[in-house]
Amino acid sequence: MEAQIDRKSRDAGPIGIFDSGYGGLTVLSEIRALLPEYDYIYLGDNARAPYGNRSYERVYQFTLQAVKWFFGQGCHLVILACNTASAKALRTIQQVNLPELDPHRRVLGVIRPTVESVAALSESGHIGVLGTEGTIRSGSYELEVGKLYPHITVTGEACAMWVPLVENREYDKPGSDYFVKQHLERLFKKDPLIDTIILGCTHYPLLMHKITRYLPKEANVISQGRYVAERLRDYLQRRSEMDGRCTKEGSVRYFTTDSPERFGQQASIFLNERVDALQTDIEQKL
């Protein structure tokens, strides 16, 4: 594997976009809308999704396998388009693994760019974050908001059922209403002053129409994809060396660790276009 990274290290390559499953497609579609000229590889670790309630160690291990796989595909820049992976694996990969693997490659997450763009939108200084158990328990949003906006209060709510509702195509069915309402009520019970809610899970934009229906009071609900895309554009503009290592032919390829047929069917719902995926194994790459 390391030899493979070395061999490809000088060639420019696509930008890698990673998620445990389908959720990262909401981020990919915003990135492609803003930066259509670049090439992308999307990988969903569907065989092992969801990551949301897995241990720190497991999410880190799976995410590192994915990062190595992307490097083997020639990617110099990888976006963890998954809040759970960003919360539990990003820091260790950046600080411990990247210097050994290849200090010139970069792995970026979605939490920091979301916080940079969104936290200042709150007028009350009270923000809510909806996410998976793993993301909320990690306290990553509190940490990042605290660094940039120490006066802002962050309250999290873990929505355990929301990812399964999306993955099982129940997000627009009546059964999902109960769970959406339940978590929004719990969030506002914890802090009634919240005026800005971050959807801190890339699956949740598919529930947006239900979320806005059951908001107990007026508040901004923010999907992070657009902000992640804007931050990526700024990043590539500021770092011309990295920009030069990203190929630009406007292509996108999809890989999944599970069934490519199922991935194609599900992904076309997220993206509103036909998706042909390939199966890949990433486990042996550690």
| Contacting positions for ligand DGL (CB under 6 A) | 19-21, 23, 49-52, 82-84, 132, 135, 163, 201-203
Burial of 47 (0-12, 13-18, 19+ CB in 10 A): middle
Lookup: tokens for 45? 């670790």
CB of 272 to ligand DGL, least distance (A): 19
On the question of a cis peptide bond just before residue 50, with omega within 30 degrees of 0, the verdict is: yes
- CA 90 vs. chain centroid, Å, equals 11
**Which CB, 52 or 156, lies closer to ligand DGL?**
52
Q: Name the residue nearer to ligand DGL (CB basis): 68 or 203.
A: 203
Nearer to ligand DGL, 132 or 266 (CB): 132
82 is catalytic: yes
Q: Point out the catalytic residue in the list 75, 82, 159, 246.
A: 82
In the complex, least distance from residue 238 CB atom to ligand DGL, rounded to whole angstroms: 26
Q: Residue 19 or 116: which CB sits closer to ligand DGL?
A: 19
Give the whole-angstrom CA distance, residue 169 versus residue 167. 6
* Catalytic residue (choose from 75, 159, 201, 246): 201
With beta carbons less than 8 A apart as the criterion, state whether 145 and 66 touch: no
Q: How far apart are CA 39 and CA 268, in angstroms?
A: 19
Could you confirm whether 201 is annotated as catalytic?
Answer: yes
Q: How far apart are CA 157 and CA 141, in angstroms?
A: 12
Q: Could you tell me the smallest distance in angstroms from the CB atom of residue 20 to ligand DGL?
A: 3
What is the smallest separation between the CB atom of 102 and ligand DGL, expressed in angstroms?
26
User: Hunting for tokens 């804007």 — which residue is that?
Assistant: 230
Catalytic residue set:
82, 201
